[in-house]
Amino acid sequence: MSVMTSGIRKNRRSIRRGRALLVAPVLAATIGGGIAMSQPASAAARPDAHRFLSAVVPCESGGNPRAVNEIGAGGLFQFLPSTWHSVGGKGLPQNASSAEQWKRAHILYAQQGTSPWYASKSCWGKKV
């Protein structure tokens, strides 16, 4: 390979890298912005908290406050431990009283709306 060919290849790689550096933040902002805008925490069209959470429970845990799934989410609302702690929960959600789980779910709903339970929307979506 000649020195000239090698230089051209390096230049092409630099151009591609430069394009990626320009495109990646724009793409991330576009995708991230779309997600954030689709479920704002203060959405006016949000369902009533208690009604929504009542529809979520059978979908997430079948009404079992001690339920734990294969990835470690637990309780009526299938809180991940990190999410549980972020809303002030102590210990593990499946070990808390039902009243405490409801309290923490209301806090999470006030902060993030329906987003934390999006994975089960096919179940609760028609009920709210």
Q: What's the pLDDT tens digit per position in 64-85?
A: 999 999 999 999 999 999 999 9
Q: What is the mean pLDDT of the chain?
A: 79
Q: What's the pLDDT tens digit per position in 1-41?
A: 555 555 555 555 554 554 444 444 433 333 443 333 344 44
C-alpha distances out from residue 28 to 38, 73, 95, 121, Å: 15, 28, 38, 25
pTM of the predicted model as reported, rounded to 2 decimal places: 0.65
